[in-house]
Amino acid sequence: MPATKCAVSDVDRSLYDFKNEENSSDYFREKEGLTEEIVRRISTEKNDPAWMLDFRLKSLRLYHELQIPDWGPSIEGLNMDNIATYVRHKTKMKGSWEEVPEDIKSTFERLGIPQAERESLAGVGAQFDSELVYHNLQKDVAEKGVVYTDLESALHNEFAEMVKEYFMHLVPPSDHKFAALHGAVWSGGSFVYVPKGVKVEIPLQSYFRLNAAGAGQFEHTLIIVDEGADLHFIEGCSAPKYNVANLHAGCVELYVKKNARLRYSTIENWSKNMYNLNTKRALVEEGGTMEWVSGSFGSHVSYLYPMTILKGDHSHMEFTGITFAGAGQNLDTGAKVVHRGRGTTSLITTKSISKDGGIGTYRSSVTILPSAKKAKASVSCDSLMLDSISRADTVPGMDIRTDDADVGHEAKIGRISDEAIFYLMSRGIPEADARAMIVSGFASPVSKELPLEYAVEMNNLIKLEMNSNG
């Protein structure tokens, strides 16, 4: 009887680890480090309006004043003197895949982005290093008044004042050191505006590819879903592996207006030389709904805690996330929610998997203010350790300032049951496949919330990690 191919070995890491050669004729690279001169050159390169240059310089000053957080995983391997904060291909952003330079186009084709756009997306933005190289929105969606463009274009068109009104107001540079860094050197990202009452039936997607070694990526995503509107936005990202530190310090600001709904789905597959210090935050008005779906599979170190402010009465938030920490990874992730309005509700469900000495930490913060009468909050976090050398920690934070609230928290940390493995093997399933099946089942609450093709990618990544040697 011929041997069957083990499912755990079906995924080829080359899907993500291939690299494009960076050369001076096709690429512009800012020198490493972080100085006022570098920030001014980035601003000039991007043709910033005067207020944005001023914003960058104030953010730079804050960056030098603020301290590195001392409560999370160590980031001592990250030295900003060795990071190029701006790298771009010398092409201009295109609205057709055929016009994108061949080397970049082939990258996104290997990642499946053009195919996904044709089959299941209403619009796509593709960023390569520091700038977008492709952006497109379906005509019928644009005719509804939906705006989906790169943030730089929005700074110079009829939405310039809207960008100025909302840009880094939800995540101010003073928030923490890497928010200040972002404010100083941000580049790329997307601007989305969905008008009142418009429901975008098919998701929009941005994909971020960091190709350059020893570089940072600092894209800014600004989404405004107006009253009664509905949007599903998907974010994907990946990078090849290098032997030097890379940095991702993007920023996502989401505004959900009265009775609107936004679902924000992310699959992060950064390489294991990446420091992922991303900041994501949402503000939800009366009757609005914010849904997060998050999968974190890559990076050497992660600080990632999407935050939702339930400002309006009867607003709602759900967060569903999974983290997989393998060899050499210390992933500190979770979610934050602030209940401000009456009758607000939140549900946080997370899964954490650690293997081969990986460290997965769930860190949450639930705050219910005195104004949030009748608020309800539920937190559930499950951690699965696949061996005896890995680690899982749960650090929940609860700040309840009213006695008129309903709050629950549940946490479980455990290992794969020997009995479950034995049962599956007794049915003829190889041990590696049995373990992969159990892990996939553990992760199913997250995968079932994703569109089919992204759920498949997530499950493939889990199988990949199960087979990884680091």
Predicted pLDDT of residue 14 = 57
Left if phi > 0, otherwise alpha if psi is -120 to 50, otherwise beta: which for 80?
Answer: alpha
Predicted pLDDT of residue 270 = 84
Distance, CA of 366 to chain centre: 20
Q: How confident is the model at residue 318 (pLDDT cuts 50, 70, 90)?
A: very high
DSSP letter for each residue of 416-457: --HHHHHHHHHTT--HHHHHHHHHHHHHHHHHTTS-HHHHHH
- Please tell me the least confidently modeled range out of 47-51, 73-77, 123-127, 220-224: 123-127
Given a cut of 80, whether residue 276 has pLDDT beyond it is yes
- Give, for 115, the enclosing helix (H) or strand (E): helix 113-120
Distance, CA of 176 to chain centre: 18
Q: Tell me the whole-structure pTM to 2 decimals.
A: 0.90
Q: How confident is the model at residue 19 (pLDDT cuts 50, 70, 90)?
A: low
Predicted pLDDT of residue 4 = 35
Is residue 447 within 8 Å of residue 455, measured between CB atoms? yes
Alpha-carbon gap, residue 212 to 226, rounded angstroms? 37
Mean pLDDT along residues 372-386: 93
Q: Which pLDDT tens digit goes with each residue over 216-226?
A: 999 999 999 99
Q: What percentage of the chain has pLDDT greater than the value 70? A: 91
CA torsion, points 44, 47, 49, 54, in degrees to nearest 10? Answer: -20
414 closest CA partner among 433, 442, 436: 442
Q: How confident is the model at residue 6 (pLDDT cuts 50, 70, 90)?
A: very low
Mean pLDDT along residues 169-197: 97
Mean pLDDT along residues 333-362: 94
Predicted pLDDT of residue 1 = 36
Q: Please give the mean pLDDT across all residues of the chain.
A: 88
Considering only residues 70 and 303, tell me which one the structure prediction assigns the higher pLDDT.
303
Mean pLDDT along residues 2-9: 32
Is residue 405 within 8 Å of residue 371, measured between CB atoms? no
Alpha-carbon gap, residue 225 to 404, rounded angstroms? 31
Considering only residues 440 and 173, tell me which one the structure prediction assigns the higher pLDDT.
173
Q: Which pLDDT tens digit goes with each residue over 324-334?
A: 898 899 999 99
Mean pLDDT along residues 438-455: 75
Half-sphere exposure at residue 62, Cβ-oriented, CA atoms within 13 angstroms: 20
Mean pLDDT along residues 422-447: 83
Given a cut of 60, whether residue 8 has pLDDT beyond it is no
